[in-house]
A and B are shown apart, each in its own frame.
Chain A
């Protein structure tokens, strides 16, 4: 909005703009107006708690959609979406073998938008496994794992494992036949390891077969343990991208 050749007097638009963005409430939240000079735009990024995960400038090749296909960003976006919809699901769900299944049924039939919430949570969960895998492939094929980004690739592999575990622990919670037997098959795989397999399976399941103890453990891991770990590793992941000099580019 170039303010060069303006007729005298303030237009309606200007006054409206001032009323919305110049009042005390707005100014108390956003200290400065819209950042319309390069200096202010950099400050906007550097001083905002959410935006400062970004650098203030990035190389022009990296804003091309086809460079990243937004896949890492989408993984993070889905993680945030899953957190929000997950909290809403927790309002209605009690992790007990007596209640879990009927809670899900009630969620689908009695709760307004309950079915929608459950669907969104589930599709985002499947989606996140896919976007993380595809993000890994994009990083590989753009050669972005090479020095100095080796360690961030390793952090990525940890995030991949955490994503799979998050999805796996969530799978049990509806407590239907699909859930029970998928987790039984999955945990039996752990149990087949030599020496430590069976003890590990026992710790994971909390007994000889998937029951209340398993449900409690999976719930705790799913709603707090694993998301916290994932959040920590994501912070490291994003921080490292900046420390490694932004996204990789040709030498």
Chain B
């Protein structure tokens, strides 16, 4: 479209750190170059959308009926990742704390990685692609394995090999996350610790805590999930640092962001296609009838 010769970006030598004067010969006029592209884009997408809308009708099920709960009931697809999390931890954690923290962390990215490195070009730093791949792979595989663990898939695999009911009794607490709560003989007192009598906030003039604390429940629903969600990414960065995969801030950022996207996508896919009746893990339901 433009006649001027293709010029390479300047090598980022340390001496030329300061922003160069805007090189006029490197610039194009918005009219017509950009306006033209925008116009073509808009036309193509109008055609695409009209085509899609002619061919595929949107769903309309029966009239809303509060008395009939469909099984499974699912949130819109872009929230199914949260709904999937909900199955593995305390609802307050999955439904509110995780999305809030995730959004704040997302917004904080530029304040943490404020280097100028790799700016304005696709994955241009030396280890960018490597970190993208490692982060995405660890995120996707790790999430899948964690879900499999919580759904006792490892038991199924073990018993397929070693025979029916062969999972050793003493290891029952490893059947899934809930196993820690249900398969261990917790002393009775751990099930409701009257927090108000332990943490005597009333002595400090604050209101007395009225809460019976269920320690095993707390461990399974909050302590382990929080530590997994915070710990595994930190571990990933530490290991990547040791192995010299991630060396700069930008490297770590790409690693973590790619991991986050992979986790997000994996959870969405599992929540959308692999959760059937009662939200049980089922093989593939993409072709299931949406009307029940």
Contact = CB atoms under 8 A, between A and B. Distances in A.
Contacts of B28: 57-60, 63
B122 interface: yes
A205 interface: no
A59 B166 CA distance: 67
A250 B124 contact: yes
Interface in A44-69: 44-45, 51, 54-63, 65-67
A51 B29 CA distance: 12
B263 interface: no
B92 A192 contact: yes
Interface residues of B, number: 88
A176 to B, nearest CB: 4
Among A143, A181, A188, A249, max chain B CB count under 10 A is at A143
Given A180-B64, A186-B76, A189-B83, A144 B120 contact: yes
B257 to A, nearest CB: 6
The 5 closest A-B pairs by CB, nearest first: A189-B95, A192-B91, A119-B53, A249-B120, A150-B110
Nearest to A66: B122
Interface of A: 35, 38, 41-42, 44-45, 51, 54-63, 65-67, 70, 73-74, 77-78, 81, 97, 101, 104-105, 108, 115-116, 118-120, 122-124, 126-127, 129, 137, 140-147, 149-150, 153-154, 157, 161, 164, 167-168, 171, 174-182, 184-186, 188-194, 197, 209-211, 247-251
B34 interface: yes
A171 B261 CA distance: 24
A60 B31 contact: no
B44 to A, nearest CB: 9
Contact of B65 (A147, A167, A180): A180
B56 A123 contact: yes
A157 B29 contact: no
A198 B261 CA distance: 30
A3 B57 CA distance: 52
A177 B70 contact: yes
A63 B1 contact: yes
18 contacts: A38-B29, A45-B30, A54-B35, A57-B24, A63-B1, A70-B37, A118-B58, A122-B58, A141-B128, A142-B120, A143-B118, A147-B110, A175-B64, A188-B91, A189-B82, A189-B86, A192-B90, A197-B96
Interface in B31-69: 31-35, 37-38, 41-42, 45-46, 49-50, 52-54, 56-66, 68-69
B135 to A, nearest CB: 12
Nearest to A122: B58
Contacts of A35: 31
Interface stretch (B101-109, B145-153, B169-177): B101-109
B103 A161 contact: yes
B96 A192 contact: yes
A186 B64 contact: no
B119 A182 contact: no
A140 B254 CA distance: 8
A184 B9 CA distance: 53
Contact of A250 (B12, B45, B77): B12
A141 B132 contact: yes
B30 A58 contact: yes
Interface in B221-263: 250, 254, 257, 261
Contacts of B62: 176-177
Contacts of A153: 107, 109-110
B121 A65 contact: no
A214 to B, nearest CB: 11
Contact of A81 (B30, B49, B52, B68): B49
